[in-house]
Chain A
Amino acid sequence: MSTETFYEVMRRQGISRRSFLKFCSLTAASLGLAPTMAPQIAHAMETKPRTPVIWLHGLECTCCSESFIRSAHPLAKDVVLSMLSLDYDDTLMAAAGHQAEEIIAEIRKKYKGNFILAVEGNPPLNEDGMFCIHGGRPFVEVLKETAADAKAIISWGACASWGCVQAAKPNPTRATPVHKVITDKPIIKVPGCPPIAEVMTAVVTYMLTFDRIPELDRQGRPKMFYGQRIHDKCYRRPHFDAGQFVEEWDDEAARKGYCLYKMGCKGPTTYNACSTVRWNGGVSFPIQSGHGCIGCSEEGFWDKGGFYERVTDIKQFGVESNADAVGGTVAGIAGAAVVAHAAVSALTKARDKNDQSKGGK
């Protein structure tokens, strides 16, 4: 049988034309598009076959997959059964071993240049890549081979996008983000540890619907979800502007939901959609539940000093020194030096005067 269109798949699943169109307008809304885009989405879905996806796992914790299956709109079930064809994903697939490996080979051949490669985790490069072994060989090889035939690559999460926890200092395995290994393919980074479920599915549906890669910022992230900081849209922002801060865990201010800036909140430096899309169907997000943002969608967020420090570390000065520690010390030394110098200067001047008045001439 020839490949079906997305619309056909939905139709034969008993979904009426009406609810299909409604789905399209919901999709438009969830992508932040004008309702007038709904017909275009509908048209695209009516005419396109399901795109095969190979989802590879490197060094990671699988929470990106776990997040993905939490998607409420669209449901993960509908994404997997109707929108795309998740032909390979070690975490979910029925087959294993040779039977699993065969699928990669088959998709690469049959859909050369036409499948999406989704990567969760990253390849380690130390020990010839054998810190992550797939089918007896380095994961990085499987990644490179598969990428060579892919149309585009999605880098899921902080692992694939930046390296994440295993790449934190001293990065013993030399875990390396995908874009440093694959340089000749379009790569869409969807960072976060993990990324928000609905952001993940929205990026996928966007690509399937419009048959193009979403507009990316200079760091390769879709602008529609990573164009603003948590802080820009944080509902605690009025408390920040007012100067109302939590000073201590579980203090009065914490119970009133004041700003978490002084508890080390990284919202002001973190680009993600948590404060707007929120988590798990919009139930909450880290700040709403009382803990500062730890900056989990930002590059190298593990190595910027403590999660509870406002003024964070400068790596060039070693782990223990932040800007205030170094700067304050230098300023203190400068101040002390000035005082001492002034004192000595006054003394020398007095002595010189003395010398002069004693008739040194």
Chain B
Amino acid sequence: MSVKTEVDEAALTAAGNSVYVYEAPVRAWHWINVLCIITLSITGWFIASPLPSVSGEASENFLMGYIRFAHFAAGYVFAVGLLVRLYWAFVGNHHAKQLFILPVTDSKWWAGMFKEIRWYLYLEKQPNKYIGHNPLGHLFMFFAITLGGTFMLVTGFALYGEGAQEGHWSHWLFTSWVIPLFGQSQDVHTWHHFIAWGIVVFVILHVYTAIREDIMSRQTMISAMIDGKRTFRE
């Protein structure tokens, strides 16, 4: 599988400056995923550093339980989403594959990356045009979501399997080997927690750049993730 990213000007003009890039499942996944990750990050934070104690009978309260439940529920949705998204990479359009592949052997892609970096350092007047992801964004998405998300999924379900106990699929599939791999459970927690920060950092940069590109570059961004069409402004 290879991915073509740079703009084919001829095709573009034929399409009237607007291309259908993100198919509905990709868009739906994107926004569901946004909700999941926000939920996971906030509930994860409160799992690690719980809120001040509530008063009353223990049996009357379930605050920590609900927070953890929300985390696990979002975790499940996140996991299913990632799997569906992976499936869509096979059946969807050409751009649906991008998230899972880095064209590291493509010198043009690297050149685009450096141009993009220069653009962020205010050294370029204009960035390149891309129908799919720009190389820099592509790189970050791959590391943060494809790899980082998978890591969170694996470690998350390994931790989940500890509570779910032997016999539960997550214990069999993940806990059984992830815990021994790290040596013990505590390091799995620590790394799950640490990479969570990595994802938060990605989100900050990603949201900023999405908005910024929307405003400053020559192509639509946010609306592209809404109606699927990338429109070029000139």
B162 touches A229 (CB 8 A): yes
Q: Of A258, A299, A313, A324, which contacts B184 at CB under 8 A?
A: A299
Residues in B neighbouring A223, C-beta threshold 8 A: 166
Number of inter-chain CB pairs below 8 Å: 141
Q: Of A253, A304, A334, A349, which contacts B53 at CB under 8 A?
A: A253
A103 at the interface (CB under 8 A from B): no
A313 touches B216 (CB 8 A): no
B53 touches A258 (CB 8 A): yes
B120 touches A227 (CB 8 A): no
Complexed CA–CA distance, A262 and B187 (Å): 18
Residues in A neighbouring B205, C-beta threshold 8 A: 334, 338
- A242-B177 CB under 8 A given contacts A232-B165, A253-B53, A327-B196: no
B58 touches A331 (CB 8 A): no
State which of A29-37, A165-173, A263-271 sits at the interface with chain B. A263-271
Interface centre among A218, A241, A322, A335 (most CB of B within 10 A): A241
B107 at the interface (CB under 8 A from A): no
A269 touches B197 (CB 8 A): no
B48 at the interface (CB under 8 A from A): yes
Complexed CA–CA distance, A238 and B58 (Å): 6
State which of B7-15, B25-33, B59-67, B78-86 sits at the interface with chain A. B59-67
Complexed CA–CA distance, A300 and B186 (Å): 10
B90 at the interface (CB under 8 A from A): no
Residues in B neighbouring A105, C-beta threshold 8 A: none
Contact with A along B197-226 (1 / 0, CB 8 A): 110110011001000100110000000000
The secondary-structure label for the interface of chain B is helix
State which of A46-54, A88-96, A180-188, A339-347 sits at the interface with chain B. A339-347
Interface centre among B50, B51, B57 (most CB of A within 10 A): B50
> Count of B residues near A, CB < 8 Å?
51
Q: Closest residue to B68 on the A side, CB-wise?
A: A241
**Closest beta carbon of chain B to A68's beta carbon, Å:** 24
Residues in A neighbouring B55, C-beta threshold 8 A: 244
B93 at the interface (CB under 8 A from A): no
A222 at the interface (CB under 8 A from B): no
Residues in A neighbouring B59, C-beta threshold 8 A: 238, 242
B189 at the interface (CB under 8 A from A): yes
A266 touches B65 (CB 8 A): no
Q: Closest residue to B189 on the A side, CB-wise?
A: A269
A269 touches B62 (CB 8 A): no
A342 touches B208 (CB 8 A): yes
Within 8 A of B (CB), among A308-350: 310-314, 322-324, 326-328, 330-331, 334-335, 338, 341-342, 344-345, 348-349
Complexed CA–CA distance, A253 and B52 (Å): 11
B5 at the interface (CB under 8 A from A): no
Q: Of A253, A310, A326, which contacts B197 at CB under 8 A?
A: A326
- A330-B54 CB under 8 A given contacts A241-B62, A268-B185, A271-B185: no
Within 8 A of A (CB), among B148-185: 162-163, 165-166, 176-177, 179-180, 183-185
Residues in B neighbouring A242, C-beta threshold 8 A: 54, 56-65
Interface CB pairs A-B, < 8 A, 29: A238-B59, A240-B64, A241-B61, A241-B62, A242-B58, A242-B64, A243-B51, A244-B54, A266-B186, A268-B185, A269-B184, A269-B189, A299-B184, A300-B184, A301-B186, A314-B190, A314-B191, A323-B190, A323-B193, A323-B194, A324-B193, A324-B197, A326-B197, A327-B201, A330-B197, A331-B201, A331-B204, A338-B208, A349-B215
